[in-house]
Structure 1
């Protein structure tokens, strides 16, 4: 019998739909998909200093999910529809998988603002029914921002639902606990990689983000009193060994291990109390 999955930690990488951008923003100008993306990015740089195109124009090209047990152990990590990376299949597997595993808690970093809206809009685009996600259940409704039953956004947790800002994002909080964070690739490079057909590299980048998110999740569970620091340290070591076992067959895991550093605990190690002296001792 398969082990029960209690949490699904995921990350989405997406690319712009150039045909949609051309139709919506530059209708009648005859721009190709590539030209429309480049034109829009130039405008965004001028306005905001970034080439990042809003999620409404994006489609998922890689979704990686870590399956987590109720005791916070890593069960497995999967990349949906690899190596084909078909957006409609990725979207179908994403939502059907959530239902198949009994609707476990989604866990993301900034997923409330980006990852889940991308996947909801993809379901809309491809005509995929996700009725359980839209269930109306008062405070516990899955899409209720302030209920974490269905979705725990770690960025919202660490910023008190946006009352503060998390300058530095996942990269910063990962490095706070000595995990690799961003390495050779950043999110703004994904579009170029997709244009060059480097979908496996995109998936590898996504895997590393999921690992960072998992380790941030573990420390968040310590902070929230749901586990202990001692247990977290054990889980981190178990996961390091899990990654090591797969590093020869996965470039992403090899790169992650290469960037690995140990978290130096400021707390003295707990020692077992001395054995009680025998009553017969002098």
Structure 2
């Protein structure tokens, strides 16, 4: 079974905000400030409603019988629609098991709204058993099915009061955690034209999720100690072989934290 771990990075949808709140004529900076102020007045937080998050990066770890691969969909010139199409096209072609951290609470709903906005078709993803009976009991949409495993949700026993940040759990387990950026800094980086930095950051986040998933697989007996160590070695070798600076920095931080 193919396993696809994924993570997205977003910025405020300025054009959508202008349309919804009649903010035409404002600069990007003023539009962003207005959206954040409106949201703060609404419920005391600057975290925008999910339909007003524009996707600027989708990073994945793919573990298949062919090996391991880590990358960010599209390139720095890809439109939001193209990124979303690539994500759902992969599901249509390979039907992987999806793994995320808070994907049910953030990443997937954002993808739903943005796919709706752009008219993106995702036939396999929305299957619930009408054409493929196996999806009746195991599909991407059910909170309690394994075709999408939201690690945060499962580990918290579907209890929001028990939720934990990926950064803290990864650090607790001896993995690197956040490196060089955070979700709150993505919009600043985007305004500075640093899409590469955003894409690299998203890849380190998805690497943390993959490592936590491996520990989860060990905990529930899907991997034994030997298999778990083999997966860690496979990832370490892959990061060294690829040689990207952020991969090597991730590996160095991991080694210092855990002595691997």
Tell me what 1:41 maps to: 36
The structure 1 residue matched to 2:47, chosen from 40, 43, 52, is 52
The structure 2 residue matched to 1:246, chosen from 242, 246, 249, is 242
- 1:90 and 2:83 correspond: yes
Tell me what 1:236 maps to: 232
1:218 aligned counterpart, secondary structure: helix
CA contact (8 A) 2:92 2:123 kept: no
- 1:154 and 2:147 correspond: no
The runs of at least 4 aligned residues of structure 1 exceeding 4 Å deviation read 43-50
CA distance in 2, matches of 1:127, 1:230: 45
CA contact (8 A) 2:57 2:83 kept: yes
**If the length of structure 1 is used for normalisation, what is the TM-score?**
0.82
Tell me what 1:14 maps to: 10
Matches within 5 A, 1:120-269: 120-137=112-129, 138-148=136-146, 150-162=147-159, 164-167=161-164, 169-247=165-243, 250-260=244-254, 261=256, 263=258
Deviation, 1:90, is 0.6
Deviation, 1:22, is 1.9
Deviation, 1:48, is 5.8
CA distance in 2, matches of 1:241, 1:46: 49
Moved more, 189-198 or 250-259: 250-259
CA distance in 1, matches of 2:226, 2:77: 41
Aligned-residue CA RMSD (Å) = 2.2
CA distance in 2, matches of 1:121, 1:232: 36
Deviation, 1:111, is 0.4
Deviation, 1:217, is 0.5
The structure 2 residue matched to 1:61, chosen from 56, 60, 82, is 56
Deviation, 1:20, is 1.1
CA distance in 1, matches of 2:181, 2:44: 19
Aligned residues: 253
CA distance in 2, matches of 1:216, 1:24: 39
Gapped regions of structure 1 (runs ≥ 5): 266-282
CA distance in 1, matches of 2:73, 2:259: 35
Deviation, 1:197, is 1.0
Judging by fraction of residues, say which structure has more helix.
2
Quickly say closer, same or farther: Cα 1:100–1:239, change in 2 above 3 A. same
Quickly say closer, same or farther: Cα 1:28–1:252, change in 2 above 3 A. closer
Moved more, 37-46 or 234-243: 37-46
CA distance in 1, matches of 2:7, 2:170: 15
The structure 2 residue matched to 1:113, chosen from 71, 90, 105, is 105
Deviation, 1:45, is 5.0
Quickly say closer, same or farther: Cα 1:222–1:95, change in 2 above 3 A. same
**If the length of structure 2 is used for normalisation, what is the TM-score?**
0.89
Quickly say closer, same or farther: Cα 1:108–1:28, change in 2 above 3 A. closer
CA distance in 2, matches of 1:209, 1:49: 27
